[in-house]
Amino acid sequence: MTRLARDRQNGWLGGVCAGIGRRYGVQVWLVRFAFVVATTAGGLGIVLYALGWLVIPAGEGAPGRRRLPTGRAAVEVALGTGLLLLSVLLTFRALGIWFSDAFVWPLVLVASGGALIWRQSAERPASEPAPAPRQPVSAPPRLPEGEERRRVAAAISRTGVGIVLVLAAGFVFLQTTGALGAARDVLLALLVAVVALGVIFAPWIIRLVRSLTEERSQRIRSEERAEVAAHLHDSVLQTLAMVQRRADDPGEVAAIARRQERELRAWLAGRPRPGQAARLAPALEAAAVEIEEAHGVPVEVVVVGDVDLDEHVEALVAAAREAMTNAAKFGGGSPIDVYAEGVDGRLQVFVRDRGPGFDTARVPDDRRGVRESIVGRMERHGGRASITSSPGAGTEVELVLESPS
């Protein structure tokens, strides 16, 4: 047996009619018709619908068809709907289908104000995880500060309007029934009672709030720990298991360890962050990782003055990658040092190995092609490349890109 719930997936407004229809096995349009008929009885249908919206819990699933617009459009639609409702009510009033002014107007105000406030608090739990001030190790993308602030401001102003409407309703009701004077006395007594209760229960309430906050931060901490544990499990422990199995192959073990080290460092540093512009340093690091994995040679990348990637800088990275490949192939397994410096619009990259080196005057044939691809590529993008090497002293490729700034 299904519970009575608002069917937000098939509903038009809040899914009240669809929910009732589904729960009791009645055609939805019949239920809707009943509400429309009830509306002719002094707007009773509208009141009932609003009550249903507030009281009946929302069912599973997000609103399938978004009939309710958001943002600026929502304000316009709300205004239009309000005016339409007002004209309907006035028509009923003129026709004499009416309870009394003292009853209907406050009710309309309470309904609209209440709807604003209740919707507000109903939305909260769903969006709670997002605005919670947690700072996991992986530093997830957070809402832009302006966006966050704007949302909070909108929520506050909506709640404020709701409160004003409800208070106005009470005031109008008391005014028209002439009970305002008596209400003032009651209000005073109530105020005194509230203050007294506040004084009595304040310590307890504060304690409650504090323990809730504590519990919350405890939960966040344990969630973070779980996240770290999950990551270590997937990465470091796997790698350690792999290292144990490959213990007889030192080269392989070193490569595995180095790859894991890079991965863990990147994770600790929280890069690459989504939404971050592509930069030179991560691009060079990525190329270095590829070379390391392909050739089993350690590559150390040092970048000073990181810059944004454009097509020329990308060409520079590609050329540097070629140079690294070269160094890995002909450097005799020596470690490769990559140093990039972007200062005053001048971008320099050095790729160096400590291998056997060669006489640059007599370039071996098998190197000519690669050399062309490095030098040629740099020249096509307005840069230059030079290769320094001598037998026994390693090889260094220098790439320069002057950006017009």
Q: Is 269 in the site for another protein (CB under 8 A)?
A: yes
Q: How far is the CB of 397 from another protein (least distance, A)?
A: 11
Q: How far is the CB of 259 from another protein (least distance, A)?
A: 13
Of 102-110, 198-206, 217-225, 339-347, which part binds another protein (CB under 8 A)? 339-347
Q: Which of 341, 367, 370, 377 binds another protein (CB under 8 A)?
A: 341
Burial (CB < 10 A; 0-12, 13-18, 19+), residue 389, is: buried
Of 167-175, 336-344, 360-368, 370-378, which part binds another protein (CB under 8 A)? 336-344
Q: Is 339 in the site for another protein (CB under 8 A)?
A: yes
Q: Of 113 and 383, which has the nearer Cβ to another protein? A: 383
C-alpha to C-alpha distance for 308 and 310, rounded to whole angstroms: 7
Q: Is 223 in the site for another protein (CB under 8 A)?
A: no
Residue for token pair 């098939």: 10
Indicate the length of the chain as a whole number: 405
Q: Is 229 in the site for another protein (CB under 8 A)?
A: no
User: Which of 257, 269, 256, 262 has the alpha carbon at shortest distance from 284?
Assistant: 262
Q: Which of 298, 314, 318, 367 binds another protein (CB under 8 A)?
A: 298
Q: What is the DSSP string of 324-390?
A: HHHHHHHSTT--EEEEEEEETTEEEEEEEE-S----TTS--HHHHHHHHHHHHHHHHTTEEEEEEE-
C-alpha to C-alpha distance for 271 and 139, rounded to whole angstroms: 9
Helix (H, G, I), strand (E, B) or coil at 41: coil
Q: Is 302 in the site for another protein (CB under 8 A)?
A: yes
Q: Is 310 in the site for another protein (CB under 8 A)?
A: no
| Residues 62, 63, 65: CA angle, nearest 5 degrees | 135
Q: Which of 337, 374, 383, 399 binds another protein (CB under 8 A)?
A: 337
Q: Is 139 in the site for another protein (CB under 8 A)?
A: no
Q: Is 396 in the site for another protein (CB under 8 A)?
A: yes
User: Which is it for strands 336-343 and 299-304: parallel, antiparallel or unpaired?
Assistant: parallel
Q: Which residues bind another protein (CB under 8 A)?
A: 258, 261, 265, 269, 298, 300, 302-305, 335-337, 339, 341, 343, 350, 352, 354, 393, 396
